[in-house]
Structure 1
Amino acid sequence: MGGAIYIHIPFCKQACYYCDFHFSTSLKKKEELVMALAKELKLRKDEFQDQTVETIYLGGGTPSLLTIEELQFLIDTVYNNYTVTEHPEITLEANPDDLVPDRNRNSMSPRAQSRGLIFKDYKAIGINRLSIGVQSFFEDDLKIMNRAHNALEAKQCLEEATKYFDNITIDLIYGIPNMDLEKWNANLEMAFSFGVNHISSYALTVEPKTALDNFIKKGTYPPLDDHLALQHFNHLVERTAKEGFVHYEISNFGKPNYFSKHNISYWQWKPYLGIGPSAHSFNGVQRSWNIANNTKYIQAIQKEELPNTVEHLTLNDRYNEYIMTGLRTIWGVSFKKIANHFGQDYVQHLKMLSKKIVERGLLVISTEQSDEKSHNYILKATPKGKFLVDGIASELFILN
C-alpha cells in the first residue's frame, strides 16, 4: 500500500497576519531542527515498514529557507530509511522572494546568484513539484497580509520557475475586503498567463489569536464579507473550468495529470507520517500530532522520544472524517464504501440525514455506473453546495 510523508519546516521570515500555523521567525535553531527532523524519520521508520512512500511533501512554514544541502539531507534520509516508489511526487513549498535573485537586500534564505540556478538545484535533488505562495499579484493585498514578497517578485518567480518546472501550483487568497470582482479576476488572469497547471485557492479566514483577528476586533481592519467571498468563489470555479482546470477538491483546481497526489492521499485515507513540530500523522485507526514547540521537539527527539499525542479514532470518528473529506472532492462519498467499512446502519443514517439536504439542492446522489443493489450510489456536493460543504458535512456526522 502507498503512503505519504509530510515534513514540517517551522521557519518564516515574518508572520503573515492571517496565519495560525506553527512557525518561528528566528532561525537560531535551524541546524538543530533539521538534524531532529532526520532523526525522527529514522525513529519512526518501523511505522511505515509495510508502506511504499509515494509522495514527500516539504511544507511549513517556509521550506525554501533551507539550503539545498539541508533539503537534500532530508530527502536522502527518507530514501535511506523507507521504501520509496520509483517516481515519487516530491513537493517543495516556497515563497517567491526565496526563488528570485536579489543581491541588494539581505535575506535569510540561500538566494540564487543567477537566474534559474535555484530551480536547477531543486530538480537535481529530486524535487519535481513546486507549491509557490503567491496569494495575490497586487502590492496592496500583499502588504495587508504582511507577506515577505512583493508583486514584482511573484511575477519574476513564476516567469523563471515555469522554465524549469511544469508541475507548479500557486496559492491565491480570495475574499479579501475591498477586493472587487474585477481585481480578483485580474489575479486569476495573471495566474493563467504563466501557464501554471494547478491552483490552490482559499477564502481569507480569521483564525483566533492571529494579528488579523486582533485588527478586526480593534476596528483597524474591515470585517470579512461572506457574500464577497462567495462571489469570488463562484467566479473562480467558472474561470478555472474555462481554462481546462478540474475542480477536484473544494480549494484545489488542477489540469488533468496535475492533481496533487500528496493531498489526494489525505482525502482518500492513505496512511501518512507527519514529521516535525506540530505535524500530524494517520495510520487508518489512530491520529497523532507532534508538540508545536521547536525547542521541546528538538529536546525530545535528541532523547529518542516522540513528543506526540495519540488519538485512537472510534468507528464514528472515522465515518465522520470520511464524510468530511469525501464531500470536499469530486469523488464524493460512496455508499458502498460506507457499507463495507462501517456497516449498513451507517448507510441508512446517511440516507436519512442527507434526504433534506438533497431536497435543498445542496447535495446530489449520483447513480452513474451503479445500481441500487450494489449500494454504490455516490453522494456529492452540487455547485450550489460546494461553498457550504464543511457545514453540510457536519449535519451528516454521527456524534459519539
Structure 2
Amino acid sequence: MDDLIRAITKEIFLRKDFLKTKELSSVYFGGGTPSMLKGEHLEILWERITKLFILKKNAEITLEVNPDDIDSDTISNWKIFPFNRVSIGIQSFEDEILKYLNRIHNSERAVYGFNLLRDAGFDNINVDLIYGIPVQTENQWHNTLEKALRLNPEHLSAYCLTLEDKTALSAFIDKGKSPRISEESGAVHFEWLMFEMRKHGFTHYEISNFCKPGFESRHNLSYWTGEEYLGVGPGAHSHKKNIREWVIPHNVNYIKSLSDNILPLESETLTNENLLAEYILLCLRTSEGCSLSYLKKKFNKDLLKDKEKQIADCVEKKFVVISDNKIILTDRGKLVADKIALELL
C-alpha cells in the first residue's frame, strides 16, 4: 500500500497542470476501497492535494466507504480530514443478496455503520444500492428500499446490475448456477424505486441518483454536464476540452512506471461528433435534460429539425417532453433512456 500511495502522490504532482484552474470545487476519494486507507496514507494524499491545489469555500469532499470498514477508530481517522460527504456501498439489506454479490458485510453491519457515521456528525450521507439482481424478488427489493429510507440518508444512488465479461458472476450465470439478468425485472424494480423516492420527497435529478433538496452530488454533476476533471490512480479517467485520458488499470505496472517518472497514461482526442454524442447521452439522463439551444450554439445542431420524426415519436409515446427548449425524459422514458439517446444521435 505504501508503494501505491507514493505512486499516486507522484502522479498528482506530475499532472498538477492538467486542469485550467488550481481551484477545486470537489474532491472524491473513490474507485475501490479508500476506506481501507490508514490515517497516515490519507494524510500523505491530502497534504499533496492541498499543497498543489486550492479548495473552494464549501468544496464537496467525498469518501467512499464499505460498511465492513466502518468502526469508531476508522471514523476518528476520517474526522481528522475535511470529508463532508460519505458514500456507503451497502448494495442490499438482504443477507441472501449480499452473499450472492459476494459482499463481506451483512445488513446488520450496514445499519450499524450508517448509524456510527451519523452519530459522528456526518450530515451528508449517500447510500449505494443495486437492483435487478437475478435472485432478487420484488419483496426483497421493496424491503431493501424501505430499510434504506428508514435510515434517512440525504442521497441515494441505485444501479441496475450489469453483467461484465470475465467476472465471477458472469461465469456463475454461464454455467447455469444462477438465473440470467432480466430486463423486465430491472424495469419493475426501477419503477418502484422512482415511486418510493418521490413519495419520500427525494428529487430524481439523474437516472440513478436521488437526493433531498440541495444534496445533489456536485462531483458527479461535473461528469454529467461535461466539466473538466482530473482522475488519478490506476484505472482513473480524466477529461479536458476534447481530450480524454485514462491511467492503466494495473497496480504493479502503475507503480513501476511512476517510480521511473513515467505517466502510465493512454488518451484519445474526441471529435465534435464524439462530444455531441456524449452531451446527449449524459444530459438526457439528468432532470435538466438536453438543451436544444446549447446544441445549436455549441455544435450548430438543430436537433428538432434533424430528428423531427424521432422526437415526435418519443413525444407521442410519452417518453419525453419538450419544456423550456429542452428535451426531458418522463418516468416512462427513463426506462428506455439509452434507446432514446441512440435515436437522437
Q: Distance in 1 between matches of 2:255 and 2:304?
A: 45
Task: Report 1 or 2 for greater relative contact order, CA contacts < 8 Å, sequence distance ≥ 6.
Answer: 1
Judge conservation of contact 1:162–1:194 (CA < 8 Å) in 2.
no
Q: Distance in 2 between matches of 1:124 and 1:168?
A: 17
Equivalent position SS for 1:272: coil
Are residues 1:359 and 2:307 paired?
no
Q: Distance in 1 between matches of 2:302 and 2:294?
A: 13
Equivalent position SS for 2:246: strand
Are residues 1:233 and 2:190 paired?
yes
Point out where structure 1 has 5 or more consecutive residues left out of the alignment: 1-29, 101-115, 368-376
1:387: which partner in 2?
Answer: 335
**Deviation readout 1:326-361 (Å, 9 max, x if unpaired):** 110001000111111111455632445423222222
Which residue of 96, 109, 122 corresponds with 2:67? 96
Judge conservation of contact 1:363–1:380 (CA < 8 Å) in 2.
yes
Which residue of 12, 24, 27 corresponds with 1:53? 24
Q: CA deviation at 1:51?
A: 4.4
**Deviation readout 1:364-383 (Å, 9 max, x if unpaired):** 2113xxxxxxxxx1001111
Q: CA deviation at 1:133?
A: 0.5
2:148: which partner in 1?
Answer: 191
Q: Distance in 1 between matches of 2:310 and 2:23?
A: 38
Q: Distance in 1 between matches of 2:239 and 2:133?
A: 33
Which residue of 87, 97, 106 corresponds with 1:150? 106
2:231: which partner in 1?
Answer: 274
1:112: which partner in 2?
Answer: none
Q: CA deviation at 1:48?
A: 2.1
Which amino acid is 1:320 matched to?
A
Q: Distance in 2 between matches of 1:32 and 1:303?
A: 13
Q: Distance in 2 between matches of 1:44 and 1:353?
A: 43
- Aligned CA RMSD, in angstroms, stands at 1.4
1:107: which partner in 2?
Answer: none
Q: Distance in 1 between matches of 2:39 and 2:84?
A: 14
Judge conservation of contact 2:126–2:156 (CA < 8 Å) in 1.
yes
Equivalent position SS for 1:259: coil
Q: Distance in 2 between matches of 1:199 and 1:383?
A: 17
Judge conservation of contact 1:279–1:289 (CA < 8 Å) in 2.
yes
Judge conservation of contact 1:339–1:347 (CA < 8 Å) in 2.
no
1:338: which partner in 2?
Answer: 295
Point out where structure 2 has 5 or more consecutive residues left out of the alignment: none
Judge conservation of contact 1:54–1:89 (CA < 8 Å) in 2.
yes
Q: Distance in 1 between matches of 2:305 and 2:79?
A: 50
**Deviation readout 1:54-98 (Å, 9 max, x if unpaired):** 111011211111112211221221110112212211111110000
Q: CA deviation at 1:122?
A: 1.2
Which amino acid is 1:235 matched to?
W
1:224: which partner in 2?
Answer: 181
Cα distance change of structure 1 residues 344 and 396 upon mapping to structure 2, 3 Å threshold:
closer
2:116: which partner in 1?
Answer: 160
2:91: which partner in 1?
Answer: 135
TM-score where L is the length of structure 2: 0.96
